[in-house]
Every structure is written in structure tokens, then in C-alpha cells.
Amino acid sequence: MNLFDRIQALLNRVSSYSRVEVLIELVVIWLVVLAVVKFVQGTRAAGALKGLLFILVFATIIARVLGQGQSFQRITFLYDRFLTVVTVALVVIFQPELRLALVRLGASSLFRTHTQGVNLAVDALAEACRYLSRAKFGALIALEREVGLRGMVEGGTPIGAELTATLIQTIFFPGTALHDLGVVIKGNVVQAAGVQFPLAEPADMPDTRLGSRHRAAVGLSKESDAIVITVSEETGQIRLAEGGRLSQALSSEELQAELLRRLKGAPPPPNRTAAEEQAMQPPPSDEPPARGAGAPVT
């Protein structure tokens, strides 16, 4: 049987399939591929995965066409074994992405318990960030959820105090011993301050001009389900990081609404107009921004 006959036989088999079954299978495959693409979109795995999928699909088609009958049996045998090796390699290569997928699954509303005292915590954080943003005091705050941050907390300074706006403002006041690094909050309790967060790679950042605070926010949100708040000491802009993605600049009111939405499932805030976006930019000033000794540039 020559190559043309094999292709013809393959087409005849395809035409004999039930159209309903083929349609259902195509829809399922499309949904799976779409979910994978959406998940890896914007990550370093996206480009590698696209190229790898193209090569595997092309090689599989060639191997199945050539491997029909008694021809090229050794190539087909080796290719089947190669697929087994590739499967194991994919787990190793994309281990960070797979870990993040499991974290997101466990953090979904289907598995997450209701957060107690969310309103009080959000109000305190919004008030504190409003003050820090106006004063241009840098801040990095992580809200712990289902994935524990105990390992990181142990490397910081234990606080164990009730969350208040005044406490957060005091911690991040320039010149204090704990203002440089991050704060971890669980529920309504400030667990620790001066906590070192893992840094994201520069390629993971939406803007290369963003500094170490924003890299730490993205890095921690990639490795856990925490919501991380950043306040830039250069511009005073407030941002949120979750799932390895950094939000646009937010006002304190938008921060409050966004935290409620993400923590309690409240409706999202309305989109800002161009005038409101312009109003978010800090006014020019002849005075240098206040900063503490050794504070990271963000």
C-alpha cells in the first residue's frame, strides 16, 4: 500500500465517523485547548507550548499515516515511546505553570471558605493605601488566603496585631526598620512585617520600568493565591497582583471595590473614563518624593 492509498484509507475512515460524535469531540478538544491557551497566555510557557504543540500534532499525523500496515513499524514504535518521554518532560518543564493551576483550582470559590471580617479589613487597607499613595510612601502588602505563607512569615518580624489603617501607615513610614519589605495579613490580623517575597522574572512584568516591589508582588502571586497590594513611592500609584498578573493603577476607592470583588464576589467597578485616567496621574512637584533609606525603587 503506497502513501496515497494510506491517505485515502484514512479519509474513508474519517468519513465513516458519526458527525454528532465528531462534533462533540471537536468541541471538547477546542475547549481544552482554549483553557490551556488562556492559562499560559502572558507567561514564558506560552511561546514554547505553541511550538511544541505544533510539532507534536504534525509529527503524530505523519507517524500515523506512515505507520499504517506493515511499513515503518520501527519508526512508529519509537515515536510511541517518544511520546511517553515527552509527557514526562512536559510535567518537568511546565512544573511552575502546573503548580499555579492547582493553586488556582484550590483557590476557586468552589473550594474556598467565606472570609470573615472582609469589610473591616478592606476598609482599613483602603484608608491606609489612600494615605500612603498621597504621601508617596512605598508599600507591599500580601493578603493570605487558602495557600499558607508561613514559610515566608518566619523570615520576617512577627507582629500578631489587629489590622488597622494606622498600623499599616506606621509600618511603611520612611525610615522605620520594617518599611522596605512586605507585610503579610491573614484575615484581620497583621501576621508579620519585613517579609521578603520571591521576585518575578523581568520577562513576567507588564512594564520593565516597574521596580522590585512590583516584581515581588507578581512573584508571590504566581506562587500562591494571595492578593498583593503595591504602592509606588515614585508615583504613588496603587496596584493589585493576583495569579501572576498586575492590575492597572487604581484609586483608593477602586482598590476597595476591587478587593471586595475578589474576596467576596462583589460586582466589578465601572470602567474609568479617559478624564478619570488622567486624574489618576500625580501632579508635578518641585519637591523630591519622600523615601526611606534603602527603599527599593518602584
Q: What is the per-residue pLDDT for 173?
A: 93
| C-beta atoms surrounding 291 within 10 Å | 17
Q: What is the per-residue pLDDT for 17?
A: 72
The letter for the amino acid at 235 is T
The strand pairing partners of 231, in sequence order, are: 139, 238
Q: Grid cell 507534536 — which residue?
A: 56
Q: How far apart are CA 255 and CA 165, in angstroms?
A: 14
Nearest to 226 by CA among 248, 205, 242: 242
Query: Residues 62-75: pLDDT tens digits?
Result: 766 665 555 566 76
| Residues carrying CATH 3.40.1700.10, the chain | 118-279
Q: What is the per-residue pLDDT for 200?
A: 87
Q: What is the per-residue pLDDT for 291?
A: 40
Q: What is the per-residue pLDDT for 115?
A: 45
- C-alpha distances in Å from residue 163, one per residue of 62, 119, 170, 171: 62, 12, 12, 12
Phi, psi of 184 (to 5 degrees): -110, 125
- Return the C-alpha cell found at 145: 488566603
Q: What is the per-residue pLDDT for 67?
A: 58
In angstroms and rounded to an integer, the radius of gyration of the C-alpha atoms of the chain is: 25
Query: Residues 263-273: pLDDT tens digits?
Result: 875 444 444 44
Residue ranges for the chain with pLDDT beneath 50: 107-115, 266-297
Q: How far apart are CA 282 and CA 236, in angstroms?
A: 7
Output the CATH code of domain 118-279.
3.40.1700.10
Query: Residues 201-228: pLDDT tens digits?
Result: 888 888 878 888 999 999 998 888 889 9
| Size of the chain, expressed as the number of residues it contains | 298
